[in-house]
Amino acid sequence: MTVTDTSPADFPGASTSSITRIEAWRVAFPVEDRRDAAASADADPFNAASPTFVEIESLILRVTTSDGIHGWGECFGHRSNPATMAALQSMVIPFALGRGDDPQEFSTAASRTFHPFGRGGPVAYAASGVDIALWDIAAKRAGLPLRRLLNVETATDEITGYASLPSFMGESAPLQEAVAALRERGFTHFKLHETASKPMAELIAAEPDLSIATDMNGHWDHRDIETVIAEYAHLGLWFLEEPAFPVSDMGAMAALREAGILTAAGENAGDVEDLLHPSTLAGLSIIQPSAGKIGGVSALERIYAATSGGSQQVMPHCYYYGPAFFATAQVIAAHPEYPQIMESPYFNWLDTLHPLQQCTANVTLPAEVGLGFDMNVAAVGERIIDSFSS
């Protein structure tokens, strides 16, 4: 079963209950301090892959319904969290309270109501988190893990994780050390956040059997795409993510594809329609919708359904460790005809919320109903840096 081939009332988690309460927490978990790399003049204080980050945030929601079921959601993310928290409090939570808890109906109504406030951005992130929580509730009500609510027949229970490393700011030795250590733990696929070709070339020479991608977060100017091709086409990268700014320049991305480079983007698409527009798809080999940004599980399901049989691979963005991580894993496992591989942020965590937070090469999905995520709020204690309750 997919979202697109069934009406909302048909799926087994459908209910007549309404949303009665939404709570939100910003939690922050500490990671290894890398002050030497953070001192680089190129370090970006707004990018969570930057070594300037010594703790990584998650904006976590708990939605409760009139029949007493609760579900967990997560909104993107990081430095935008205070703005997303404000969007939750002032707009999305007041909009959601009292509404029915059908996630698809919520998703459609939220998109229609909030579209004047931006396709993408904190309002959309806030609505995405509520959508994820409503799918958790729907699956719990159906008595199924979310992947089986989405695909009762062929959903898988294990997927591959690829390690998504923070930026080493072009420092070759510690990058190679980190990759070698993760290779020993079974990883075969890696995504770097490096922009210089030299450390990547050195890594690929040292580890020729590994699949190496890199996310440049729009580092290059789109007018310099021929230089990007000259520097990177011969490296044989697994894929190249958002190499040039603006990242929506699909002419530049199409030129990369023509040069034999697999291109990847999508986490910064405005909405589902933007991402699925033919002019966008023409530039992309791999599309990377982000559950906590583009509209939650409802949006991911629409994207999987719309690209079925097309030339793009779907490999969701997942720079999360909270409910959006679990939602992403559940949706990937519900689509075994697509790559069963998932971005797993690798940090040297000094404390964790749950065991799956430690990046693993094999992600075994929880057997529990719903997302399989739970948070003991009292136990998280000092990791909570802000909270709100309706």
Residues that bind Mg ion (CB under 5 A): 215
User: How far lies 365's CA from each of 289, 334, 353, in Å?
Assistant: 20, 11, 16
Measured from the CB atom, the residue of 136 and 215 that comes closer to Mg ion is 215
Two structure tokens written together for 265? 């983007």
User: Is residue 199 within 8 Å of 231, Cβ to Cβ?
Assistant: no
Measured from the CB atom, the residue of 151 and 280 that comes closer to Mg ion is 280
Distance CA 199, CA 219 (A): 16
Measured from the CB atom, the residue of 102 and 215 that comes closer to Mg ion is 215
Measured from the CB atom, the residue of 215 and 301 that comes closer to Mg ion is 215
CA 102 to the chain's CA centroid: 22
Q: How far is the CB of 241 from Mg ion (least distance, A)?
A: 5
User: Is residue 352 within 8 Å of 172, Cβ to Cβ?
Assistant: no
Ramachandran bin of 23, using left for φ above 0, alpha for ψ from -120 to 50, beta for the remaining angles? beta
User: How far lies 153's CA from each of 98, 315, 335, in Å?
Assistant: 34, 21, 11
Distance CA 95, CA 106 (A): 10
Residue nearest to Mg ion (CB): 215
H/E segment holding residue 287: strand 286-287
Q: How far is the CB of 55 from Mg ion (least distance, A)?
A: 20
Q: How far is the CB of 206 from Mg ion (least distance, A)?
A: 24
Q: How far is the CB of 212 from Mg ion (least distance, A)?
A: 15
Q: How far is the CB of 242 from Mg ion (least distance, A)?
A: 6
Measured from the CB atom, the residue of 65 and 167 that comes closer to Mg ion is 167
